[in-house]
Chains A and B, each alone.
Chain A
């Protein structure tokens, strides 16, 4: 047995003697360290230093992004707030979806850990976001994952791809949460900085809503779940080596290992605790562990706390108090429990074989006291740790490369006119890693568990039934296009929102709320800060225009290697509501002889497109024009038509343009079509390249039964949505026939489309 350390730095030591402290190694700036001394009127103890340094880090304090994130709360109308039960700032936003039910959802990054140890990094990413949802009082009901990898040809990419997908698969599947969608993008800008974002969604009755606060003096502070171990605290080793004698552990591992089984049990246990009404406040332990949970619960409740740190159940007795405060061991929760409910609490955790320990109690004083045995090691105002961290106004600078990048338009690229050449380009794009079938990844995810999945991959959005009685359901889609954002972060972020909004709309659901995960380079680079400022402004403005509020999100900075940052990648998730999932619209054609319509108009917009990338290896110019008014009209139209049961299938047009949308709609159920483009070419004044590959926004292809033909066209006209019949479905032929251009055997196309990822990654 390793021995419990006794030689600790106490508050009286700190009062008695000033000394050199490793604030720099812990990532604090000189003035931040000074600020801590001013707050306390003395130097911090090493435990206090551990707490402040981790809570004031970029990751926990949002110090560089705070001033920009405010606009998500400010650029809102009363109508947008109407159904928002909990907005920005809590663990996750909560939206009223009717029938007494509420939904909570959030997307979060686990980028850096997933590069170091892809399997555990991605796995614990899923675990962390699911606990955020659980903390709100909700039962988690689905997950999604948004992935960006380096170039498929790079030797390191396979390591990351295999690790990340199996980590997500392992953790999500073991939790019994259906994976209902996500994104997979390959680009060399993500080589040393893969992005692993995970989204979770949960549902609860209104009255089950829980908040992370400790407001009643006398209530008990209880830590439960997994034991606290030495994982994920590589950084505090500097403190450990200072305060601990030489026989102790020197370097703790920087990674954490996840145990989905423990989390599954924790979920069921927590839900039982919630329903029993024995929990007054609850907080999950993620980044910054106990430091975060104690200070946030106390600060949110406007109260204080007294904690005995030696009561924490450990996997390893040699952990120092600083390490215990900062450990990021997974699958732990902190509950605030009224004394009278302790017995009931105990009975429930015992049933689930979950360990717990009472750490202390809530006190009526604005102070967080933490003791190590008899010795006081922390004595701070909780707000100063949790909420009053530094706020930066970082310098912002328009990038030097930006004008040249925008001037380098795709207009100069060679366009094919020969049908055979265009047909070849279609196939090249369909089989490119970014447009190819993602089943190699998605087949590793359970989409059936819980029996409520109404739509999942490869449809445009995921859909889950939340009420078995009424069929009430929710839809979720996430999108981000880093290339568009590199060309123009303001509009790029809006395009991400527009696409996710459209993907939700094509399922027949009504878009309702937004979450986001903003993945950027270093905030210390003024050009990155400019991208961040633009992207957040663009997103907030667009949310206002579409009338969908941002309910929460996450920021991930420092995604860069040396001076080279990733493309700005603001992942935007849109939540929609559908009053009966039986009315859902799939993305693929299934019936014979249905009419295929193109909704919206096409412009010659090939800058930043899949065509420019795949055929010419080109990125430059300006992204497609954002047209939120048309997006809204389109969404309303589809919703209206869906209620009348007019639409058989709907698929949004995005990367790769109309050509790829047609191929995907055909491959879904192996139903071909005869397509003609002459009217599009003429109406929109396009050449074939633009008609096939332009990525103009606010466009969808839908298939409609012949009997509804007149009614549907009239509906489009009445709502001012441009509509053009471009084909009919053809079940028997097994072909996609594009008039005057080419005829594609579906089986052949599928072979190429489906084999890309397996050939790359085995």
Chain B
């Protein structure tokens, strides 16, 4: 299975996303923001980073890129898309997901090992999790506060579209402790924490067993492979 990873100017976690796809058993395909040809990939990851410096609004400039436009078009046809951190911001700016992401409540960039709960396991990227499974993956952002109007929030909750919720601490002031969302169809998922940084033992978050041995993020990428096989 070929999974594309888009690199924008200022993208940082693209190689990490590619490594995670490889570790899950998929074939990563590097994609370039300026190219609307996304090489017939079976799914796309919009990785983390600071596309265009995150100036103006995070993800706003990247949302205009030819590759993003193509992803928006194909997402409507069911292409699985995962937006991580800056990728989530790009999805929001592209209107593939509702609401907005603003400056963290405490005003600082924050990097921490974050516990979250998986509340929707029917998406393309979460089907291997147990309902309400609690996992730990790194979080690192300065603009991760999720906001939306009261109606939007109500709709998201009613339609079970909140996929991930923060546990223990709400690290950025997100409404309803929202860490990640999906679209109506369940093929597009965006979240602030970074599953790709918890896919290789030795380089992930700490666990009770050993330093940096957490690999809870691996299931995101295995899930999409499974969804693609079943599709």
Contacts and interface: CB of A to CB of B under 8 A. Distances in A.
Contacts of A442: 111
A444 B9 CA distance: 23
B154 interface: no
Interface stretch (A20-28, A300-308, A448-456, A542-550): A448-456
B129 to A, nearest CB: 21
B196 interface: yes
A275 interface: no
Nearest to B106: A762
Given A448-B194, A449-B16, A174 B108 contact: no
A444 B111 contact: yes
Interface in A176-203: 176
B210 interface: yes
A436 B16 CA distance: 33
Interface stretch (A258-266, A613-621, A711-719): A258-266
B108 to A, nearest CB: 5
Interface in B46-73: 48-50, 52-55
Contact of A465 (B138, B203, B209): B203
Contacts of B196: 451
Interface in B107-139: 108-112, 138
Interface stretch (A129-137, A165-173, A315-323, A523-531): A165-173
Contact of B49 (A176, A443, A451, A453): A176
Nearest to B107: A166
Contacts of B109: 166, 169-170, 173, 444-446
Given A173-B109, A174-B50, A443-B111, A448 B202 contact: no
Interface in A514-542: none
Contact of A451 (B9, B19, B140): B19
Given A173-B140, A174-B12, 12 more contacts: A176-B49, A353-B9, A445-B111, A446-B109, A446-B111, A449-B140, A453-B203, A454-B202, A465-B203, A590-B208, A669-B206, A669-B208
Contact of B52 (A175, A261, A444, A448): A261
B120 to A, nearest CB: 25
A360 interface: no
B78 interface: no
Interface string A645-669: 0000000000000000000000001
Contacts of A455: 211
A352 B9 CA distance: 8
Contact of B212 (A261, A262, A352, A454): A454
Interface of B: 9-10, 12-13, 15-16, 19, 48-50, 52-55, 108-112, 138, 140, 142, 194, 196-197, 200, 202-203, 206, 208-212
A586 interface: yes
B111 A176 contact: no
Indicate the size class of the contact surface on chain A.
Answer: 35 or more
Contacts of B142: 173
B203 A451 contact: yes
Contact of B50 (A260, A465, A586): A260
Given A261-B50, A444-B110, A669-B206, A451 B12 contact: no
A174 B138 contact: no
5 contacts: A166-B108, A169-B109, A176-B49, A443-B110, A454-B203
Given A451-B19, A451-B197, A451-B203, A444 B108 contact: yes
Nearest to A456: B212
B53 A261 contact: yes
B200 A265 contact: no
Interface of A: 166, 169-170, 173-176, 259-262, 264-265, 352-353, 442-455, 465, 468, 581-582, 584, 586, 590, 669
A447 B109 CA distance: 12
Contacts of A443: 108, 110-112
B138 A448 contact: yes
A582 B202 CA distance: 7
Contacts of B13: 176, 449
B111 A265 contact: no
Contacts of A581: 202
Nearest to A586: B211
Contacts of B208: 590, 669
Contact of B15 (A174, A352, A450): A450
Contacts of A468: 19
Nearest to B7: A268
Contacts of B210: 590
Nearest to A172: B109
B151 to A, nearest CB: 34
A619 B93 CA distance: 57
A454 B200 CA distance: 11
A200 B50 CA distance: 20
Given A260-B53, A443-B111, A176 B202 contact: no
Nearest to A269: B9
B77 to A, nearest CB: 30
Contacts of B202: 454, 581-582
B53 A174 contact: yes
Contacts of B211: 455, 584, 586, 590
A285 B203 CA distance: 34
A468 B203 CA distance: 12
**B55, B108, B194: residue with the most chain A Cβ atoms closer than 10 Å:** B108
Contact of A261 (B9, B19, B138, B206): B9
Nearest to B52: A261
Contacts of A586: 211
Contacts of A449: 12-13, 16, 48, 140
A264 B9 contact: yes
A453 B202 CA distance: 8
A276 B204 CA distance: 34
Given A449-B16, A451-B203, A454-B203, A265 B49 contact: no
Given A260-B53, A261-B52, A669-B206, A451 B10 contact: no
Contacts of B140: 173, 446, 448-449
Contacts of A452: 203
B197 A448 contact: yes
A264 B15 CA distance: 15
Contact of A174 (B10, B19, B197, B203): B10
B47 to A, nearest CB: 10
Nearest to A259: B53
Contacts of A445: 109, 111
A597 to B, nearest CB: 20
B122 to A, nearest CB: 29
A264 B50 contact: yes
Contacts of B200: 451
A265 B10 CA distance: 7
A739 to B, nearest CB: 27
Contacts of B49: 176
A245 B52 CA distance: 39
A230 B187 CA distance: 49
A425 B48 CA distance: 45
B140 to A, nearest CB: 5
Contacts of A170: 109
A264 B10 contact: yes
Question: Which 9 A/B pairs are nearest by Cβ-Cβ distance?
Answer: A261-B53, A176-B12, A451-B16, A448-B197, A586-B211, A174-B50, A448-B138, A444-B109, A446-B140
Nearest to B201: A582
Given A173-B109, A465-B203, A265 B12 contact: no
Contacts of A352: 9
Contacts of B52: 261
Contacts of B50: 173-174, 260-261, 264
B84 to A, nearest CB: 12
B2 to A, nearest CB: 21
A422 B210 CA distance: 33
Nearest to B139: A448
A584 B202 CA distance: 9
Contacts of A450: 15-16
